[in-house]
Structure 1
Amino acid sequence: MKWNKKCIENLSNNQMNHITNFWNYFQQNNFVFLFLNEISKDEIKTHFDKLIEKLHQYNKDLDLIIKNKTNEAELIITANGNPYLFKEVELLVHHAPVIERWKIIAFLQPETNLTKFENGTDKPLEYYGITLRISEMYFIPLENPNKPTDLGIKVLLKNYIVHKDNPRLREAVYVHIEHLIGEKAFANDIAFIEIGQLEGDYENLIKMYKLTSFITI
């Protein structure tokens, strides 16, 4: 969405104040987040908690992710896959200041480095005690007879039996897929998801890391 002058004029003063406060705090303390390895964990936590507090003053359902690289870093503002909050993310990022060595991004973006998944060298991601690796996940496409244009998938996990009663399992799977294909594709291109145990013959299954290319076919 393009944020033009008319859209901005319609924002409440309160909303704009929260946006300004968030970016002011981040700009003034960006070096803390840029050099995470050189700053004490207590200090990082203090600043991170404050930054999250200011973000949630703007919208309590948004979240942020900081990725540090060699000479730069990324600040990602995410709606956690909720399409009803996409405009809120876009508005906040629209007002982001230019900060040296920082890239400010709206939404989780699709993973472009698939080699680690192909080679099985990807690091396992842990979510509330549930450990999953994209390279060990498969899927099969599903159809909804009532809505033939909707794409669904059944995600197959090696350790589904272990975690099937964990109320966080579905959330963990969603987070992994979101990080793989990007937040917008997750919200817009996949209509429903089932989860099951990986077993038997893998020949008719599709490796999870190929989901992005499958969607775009």
Structure 2
Amino acid sequence: MNQITNFWNYFKQNNFVFLLLNEISNDELKIHFDKLIAILHHYNKDLDLIIKNKNKGAELIITANGNPYLFKEVELLVYYAPVVQRWKITAFLQPETNLSKYQQGTDKPIENYGISLKISEMYFEALKIENKPLELGIKVYIKNHIVYKDSPRLRETVYSHLEHLLGEKSFANDISLIDIAQIPCDYNKLKLMELYNLGAYIKNKINFQQNICFWPKVNRI
């Protein structure tokens, strides 16, 4: 409990530094950010944080980096979060709700160790998992798979896209298998789905399964 208190005390005392990112020197910002991360890692070395600055405030996101075994650690830390003016404190990466940038192709690529991918240029198809009919597998199709396929960071980069798109909990809990492949030349004939529609696909699948489970039995005479 002391580690949780230490983390939030430091954040409260120095929150203005992270709130005014554009007005603080990079050297000073790095000192405070590294200190905040270090205190977080005293609580749990595998947790991470993301700071998003907005027009009228900022958001601090505590993330388990998609590890479901750490979800309770995140929830406990955020449960004891103080109220800090102009700050929103959130547990986990949340699902993307504004899909228009993907639909219009105006989204920015996420770059990771030389790998550059855009969600608007990615597709998926559902996969059946043998002996696990209720679980979902997907094959994600990307550009330049031939170039990136030998990179040990490719899967990490694709996972990062999926986490930001679906939210951390859905990414960890709703997908059991992920394959990665090159977008085929005849992808229109294969009727692949745009990756940005994956969240809606998962929601519909879950609703369908729930309806099946509660479907009333009919006695046949």
Match of 1:123 among 101, 104, 108: 108
Question: Aligned pair 1:49/2:34, yes or no?
Answer: yes
Q: Normalising to structure 2: TM-score of the pair?
A: 0.90
1:128–1:168: 8 Å Cα contact kept in structure 2?
yes
Residue aligning to 1:216 = 203
Match of 1:206 among 186, 193, 202: 193
Runs of 4+ residues deviating >3 angstroms? none
SS in 2 for 1:213: helix
Q: Which amino acid aligns with 1:135?
A: S
- What does 1:96-115 correspond to in 2, within 5 Å? 96-115=81-100
Residue aligning to 2:136 = 151
SS in 2 for 1:139: strand
Q: Quote the RMSD (CA, aligned, Å).
A: 0.6
- What does 1:1-217 correspond to in 2, within 5 Å? 16-203=1-188, 204-217=191-204
Residue aligning to 1:4 = none
Partners of 1:129 and 1:106 in 2: CA distance: 29
Partners of 1:91 and 1:129 in 2: CA distance: 36
Q: Normalising to structure 1: TM-score of the pair?
A: 0.92
Q: Which amino acid aligns with 1:137?
A: M
The alignment-based identity, stated in percent, is 70
1:126–1:132: 8 Å Cα contact kept in structure 2?
yes
Structure 1 position 202, deviation (Å): 2.5
1:130–1:163: 8 Å Cα contact kept in structure 2?
yes
SS in 2 for 1:80: coil
1:178–1:186: 8 Å Cα contact kept in structure 2?
yes
SS in 1 for 2:73: helix
Structure 1 position 130, deviation (Å): 1.0
1:158–1:199: 8 Å Cα contact kept in structure 2?
no
For structure 1, list consecutive stretches of 5 or more residues without a partner in the other structure.
Answer: 1-15
Larger Rg: 2
Partners of 1:104 and 1:44 in 2: CA distance: 19
Structure 1 position 48, deviation (Å): 0.4
Q: Which amino acid aligns with 1:127?
A: N
Q: Which amino acid aligns with 2:52?
A: K
Structure 1 position 115, deviation (Å): 0.2
Query: Structure 1, residues 105-127: CA drift from partner, whole Å, max 9, x if none?
Result: 00000001100000000011111
1:180–1:209: 8 Å Cα contact kept in structure 2?
yes
Q: Which moved more, 1:139-148 or 1:100-109?
A: 139-148
Q: Which amino acid aligns with 1:209?
A: Y
Aligned residue pairs total 202
Structure 1 position 201, deviation (Å): 2.0
Residue aligning to 1:11 = none
Partners of 1:51 and 1:167 in 2: CA distance: 29
